[in-house]
Amino acid sequence: MRKLTRKEEEIMKLFWENGGMFVKDMLETFPNPKPRNLNIKLFFILLFCCGSLMAQRNIRVSYAFLYKRDTTEKNYRTEMDMRLDYNGKESWFYSEGRFQRDSLSVKAFDKSGNIADQEAYNAATRHRGTTDLWHVDFSEASYSIAYKAIMKIFLGEKGNLELPMWNLIDSDTTKTFAGYAVKKAEADYLGRKWTVWYTEEVPVNAGPWLLWGCPGLIVYAIDSEKLFNFYVRDISVYEEARWPGAMEAYSRSCDISRLSVKEEEKIKARAKRDMDYFNELAGYSGAVGEIRNKDGSVTRLQYNKFQPLIAESYWK
Amino acid sequence: MRLRLLSLIISLVFPLLCAAQEVVGIRGSVSDSKTGEPLAGAFVAAYKSSKVQGYSMTGEDGTFHVKLSGVSAPDTLVVTLMGYASRKVAVTDLSKPLTIKLIPKKAEIKASKITSSVIEENGDTTKYSAAAFSDGNERNIGDLLAKLPGLSVTESGGVKVDGQSVSKFYVEGMDLMGARYGTVVKNLTPDKISSVEVYRRHQPVRALSGLVATDKSAVNIILKESSRGTWLFSGGAALGAPRFPLFNARAMFSRFSSSSQNLYLLKGNNIGGDILQELREQEYFGRASGRAYVLRESLEPDFATPLTPTNSPLSLPKEYWYANTSGVASLNSLRKLKSGMLVRTTLNAAAERYSEQTASREEIIFPQGDVLTISESTEVLDKKLFLNGSAELENNNDKRFFSDRLEFSGQLRDNDMDISREEPASERRSLPSFKVSNNLSSIIRLSDKKALDIGSDTKFFRNEGKADFSFGQSAFRQVYDISRLDSRNTARFDARAGRQVFHVTARLNVAYTLLESSLSGLDLEAVPTYSRNGILHLAPGATVSTDRRIGKSRVSLSLPASLNLVSTEGVNMIYPLVSPSVSASGPLAGKLDYTAILRYSLTRSSDESLSRAAVARSYRAMAVPDSLMRSGTLGGDLFLKYSDNVSLFYATLSSGYDRMVTDKTSSAFYHDRFSVSSFVPAVCAHEILNLNGNIKKFFGLRALVLEARAGTTLSTYESLLQGTRTGFKDRTFMAGLTLRSNPWDWISAEVKADGFRLVSSFAERNRTDRLSCDASLALRPWKKVSLITDSYLSWYTLAGKKTSNPPLVSAEAVWKLAKCSLYLRCMNVFDSDVLTTDAVSAYQSFHSSRQLLGRRILAGVRMSL
């Protein structure tokens, strides 16, 4: 960016103080010695040529997501490639492995949503990462959670994005995480007590999952039950928005049910715990939840344990 | 009673209404501290004793309103926005709107673990991580791009993807340099680069997106965060001897941001660095393609005339033989006025002094078996001054594309040649040229399925060539003065119906050429030596083309046709030209893609062929252009590409066949003192068949890269030699192998070997073999010290007689410091002074010895800030 000269700065100040005016009016208000009419015109031409002086920056953050399905589980399950895309107004949080492969899904499906490239489709759907997609629109103060059961998407939408009532815990000791100076904050949010570390070095108010609202990027987060844990792995800044809109191509192949977040979370929790219900949702029939043993006997698959990120107690 | 009841209700409800209207909150605005511009999207949070009380996002006008839920008033506001330093503001008075100014600050993104793969594919976009392919010894991004799979870089800095020139070269998504992007490729240092994106099937015109398909690719250079939007400097200076002072200096200031970009370059050397070629226009979006016969020395193709001398380049690094003193200045600026609209201005200046000393023996074998041998030694001195400037306005949005480019170029060139033979000869050429051109393109997207494209390309150039030749006692002068006004206008309509896209183009080309050719001081029997022709050429034409997706393939059909009316000196000609083609491309199976083209073209030689006067091209070669040659070419190409970014294996196979039938045949007649070439009316056919293959495999990206290539060409053609119709059949075979390895940080090596054989059927003697080997080794014995050696070996065989050249070796020691690196380079360590080469063509064989630049030592500094 070009620095303004002293005279130019004076013109700018006049402009801000007096609002819009013609050059001749501006000349009159200008203290002596008055600049030449041409100089003022030239300055505005130059200002116009500079265009947008600071482009909106977009950020892409890779997080590791560690979770337990139950408090009794000893070890964390991991998803090492969760990704946050944030463009200053909206954020998307999703599994990179699942959705970046959706660049393949652009190839995989044609415009009608039919499978056009079987190989790309296989590659896009082979990965076992979470199919959930969290979208936050900060300017509209709304959010949505998309849960996908094979070819059906349950889109939970909520018009009221709550702000976690962060208690900023400034301490004298400087801590760093992934090379960034971090500060701690705590809040009760969506039914759980969250402790996060954020960095003011990256001044964005977003974070992993639906965590947000700190005076810097959230680089580490853990809940009080130690069920869920997010930590940053890589941060990149881009001039252009990175979200490829792959979800759009992906979702064309699916039925979408629009629900409230509460209903979506309820369906998801039940489907995660009850395989028969999941099969029913996905449109599978028959003994998909059963394994036929060599001796001809049938073993029913156990129901999974599952703890949702939004605590079920929150909805009560 | 009613009134009382009403007043009671009002008195009860009114305080509630008042309470409801009294919204507690903080209002204010956020702006940029430097520009005063309101900032949208800033996050404003209110805190009371570090506990958040409420928040707001600023709107487009930069204003915010934080609604407070708590009873206690907040004491602090924290404002955060990417690209700005966070700001804490103490809140004292809630009723007064706050004005908060943010100071721009780059986010310091530190390198943490890299999670993404080094090659990311996203639809038609492939993104390569720069660091993964770099061994740290690349001088410019061209060296780095050449290491990426599927990419190659030409000597002048042109970038090719899968063998095809890119149509756009972006840095940070913006096209600063236009077609002269070689300056960036050859001067931007790789330490500034984060990654490289390759966009295949890239349509640069947004208004044509989804309607007009293209098979061209584009490259986007993504800078590291720390290098964006800030001034970068890269440069260096070196001095050396002998002969003192040898110098090599370069300074480049550049800045690449999303709203404006600048590049200012000044460089010069006299150590064999051919820097002028960086200013050459590459095949590019909006430029006429197919300039197949561009002279290597020419910065502007329109400045080439029959008098333009041809230098003979050697296939070894120029630092061994390019005896030059060159300087280049390039000023480039790009400003984005608003979204999609930009202004690009460039000014380039170049100067060069080049000399060459050659001793050659040329043998011409006649059909009767006689052999004419011409032995001569030549000294060339070439001086060139070049100036070019352009201004371009471009508006590229979803509905409309508009581009207008005004450009001028000027060149002063003097070429002196002294030839020693039995009778000494000399050639003195003075070749001033000037060109001005305007290129206009306007595209309107009429609807989702229709677009209209109107374009006009008008240029005027003048080449005022003058050459003085002497041979023994005789001296003669050739003047070749050509002025040409050329206007090409098109209107194209694109429409889509289902999966089918139709393009209809109407064209009107108007050209007027004023050509004056005068040969004085020489008596030629029956051949005119002076002519002054005004040639008017009108060519209305139309193209109908269509393309359609069939399965996964795209099939295109194109039928361009034009009617040409040429009028000159009482001669009026009307002839049609057509060039229909059909092509198909797409995936064949899995990772295998194919492209197949079948084409026919009926063309004529250029209007300059109607000069009708003898043109002395050199002291012993003369051309007599007097008519247009018509040629019809039927050909086909098949290109197969296998690309696997997971196993990093790449392979290509290309084959092509062309059969050209001409109504005139080139005739060469060797007289005592001159050879005269002309066209004589005799129908003949030429055929070319070629097959080339290439495989490349990366073992661990840098640990080992193996590339093998092989190819063969078979060509047959006919011409007249000494009045006798003679047929020739040439066979060429080539095979090559490149091994590149950077297994550990401290060692990096590359070996490249190429073998080439040409067999001409005309005479047994005309067979030549060439084997060349390039090897480089870079060692880093200590962290800050590198030792780099390059060597070149070549062997030639002509008619069974072997010639081997002594090894050419250069060595360099580099000491890296915090802000710069110091280097000491010794070029041509063994002081080899001559390179001997052998070559053959149809009925000629050449044996030449070129004077090399001897041993030289250079010490200098390189910086990149």
Q: What are the Cα distances from residue B411, in Å, to B292, B302, B351?
A: 22, 11, 10
Cis omega before residue B242 (within 30°)? Answer: yes
Distance CA B330, CA B320 (A): 26
* Residue showing tokens 């000044």: B266
CB-CB: which of A165, A200, A234 is closest to B115?
A: A234
Question: Does B484 score more than 50 pLDDT?
Answer: yes
Distance CA B406, CA B685 (A): 42
Residue ranges of B 249-268 with Cβ closer than 8 A to chain A: 257-260
Point out the least confidently predicted range of A247-256, B425-434, B796-805: A247-256
- Radius of gyration (C-alpha) of chain B in whole angstroms: 33
Between residues A98 and B447, which one has the greater pLDDT?
B447
* A19 and chain B in contact, CB less than 8 A: no
Q: What is the pLDDT of residue B846?
A: 85
User: ∠ CA(A185), CA(A186), CA(A189), 5° rounding?
Assistant: 130
CB-CB: which of B81, B260, B552 is closest to A51?
A: B260
Chain B residues with beta carbon closer than 8 angstroms to that of A167: 50-52
B745: pLDDT confidence band, cut at 50, 70 and 90? confident
Nearest Cα residue to B134 out of B862, B745, B851: B745
* Residue showing tokens 């030639």: B796
B444: number of Cβ within 10 Å: 14
* B35 and chain A in contact, CB less than 8 A: yes
Point out the least confidently predicted range of B1-15, B287-301, B391-405, B846-860: B1-15
Nearest Cα residue to B709 out of B758, B654, B658: B654
Q: What is the identity of the amino acid at B552? A: K
* B36 and chain A in contact, CB less than 8 A: yes
* B120 and chain A in contact, CB less than 8 A: yes
Cβ–Cβ below 8 Å for B336 and A165: no
B700: pLDDT confidence band, cut at 50, 70 and 90? confident
DSSP percent split of chain A into helix, strand, coil, nearest 5:
25, 30, 40
Cβ–Cβ below 8 Å for A54 and B32: yes
Point out the least confidently predicted range of B277-291, B664-678, B723-737, B806-820: B277-291
B475: left (phi over 0), alpha (psi -120 to 50) or beta: beta
Q: What are the Cα distances from residue B305, in Å, to B250, B352, B432, B463, B631?
A: 33, 20, 11, 8, 22
* A257 and chain B in contact, CB less than 8 A: no
Whether B701 and B118 have beta carbons less than 8 Å apart is answered as yes
* B89 and chain A in contact, CB less than 8 A: no
| Interface TM-score (ipTM) > 0.90 | no
Cβ–Cβ below 8 Å for A239 and B343: no
Distance CA B542, CA A296 (A): 75
The model carries a pTM of 0.67
Whether B698 and B132 have beta carbons less than 8 Å apart is answered as no
Smallest CA–CA distance from B122 into chain A, residue: A103
- pLDDT tens for B13-27 read 444 444 444 446 888
Distance CA B610, CA B567 (A): 10
Mutation target vs A (from B52, B344, B549; most A CBs, 10 A cutoff): B52
Which are the contacts of B638, defined by CB distance < 8 A and separation ≥ 6? B594, B595, B596, B597, B654, B655, B656
Q: At what angle do helices A6-18 and A37-50 cross, to 10 degrees?
A: 80
Question: Does A87 score more than 50 pLDDT?
Answer: yes
Cis omega before residue A31 (within 30°)? Answer: no
CB-CB: which of A169, A178, A216 is closest to B86?
A: A216
Q: What is the identity of the amino acid at A206? A: A
Between residues A120 and B268, which one has the greater pLDDT?
B268
- pLDDT tens for B178-234 read 889 999 999 999 988 988 999 988 888 988 888 888 888 999 998 887 888 889 999
Distance CA A66, CA B853 (A): 65
B301: pLDDT confidence band, cut at 50, 70 and 90? confident
Q: How many percent of chain B have pLDDT more than 70?
A: 93
Chain B residues with beta carbon closer than 8 angstroms to that of A201: 107-108
Chain B residues with beta carbon closer than 8 angstroms to that of A204: 43, 80, 82
Find the length of chain B: 865
CB-CB: which of A107, A116, A163 is closest to B52?
A: A163
Q: DSSP 3-state assignment of B609?
A: helix
A186: pLDDT confidence band, cut at 50, 70 and 90? very high
Chain B residues with beta carbon closer than 8 angstroms to that of A4: 34
Q: What is the pLDDT of residue B292?
A: 41
Point out the least confidently predicted range of A33-42, B54-63, B231-240, B553-562: A33-42
* B393 and chain A in contact, CB less than 8 A: no
- pLDDT tens for A18-40 read 444 555 555 565 555 555 554 55
Mutation target vs A (from B37, B60, B105, B122; most A CBs, 10 A cutoff): B122
* A52 and chain B in contact, CB less than 8 A: yes
Cβ–Cβ below 8 Å for A139 and B108: no
Residue B38 per-residue DSSP state: B
Structure tokens at A269: 């929790």
Whether B332 and B339 have beta carbons less than 8 Å apart is answered as no
Residue ranges of B 56-85 with Cβ closer than 8 A to chain A: 57, 78, 80-85
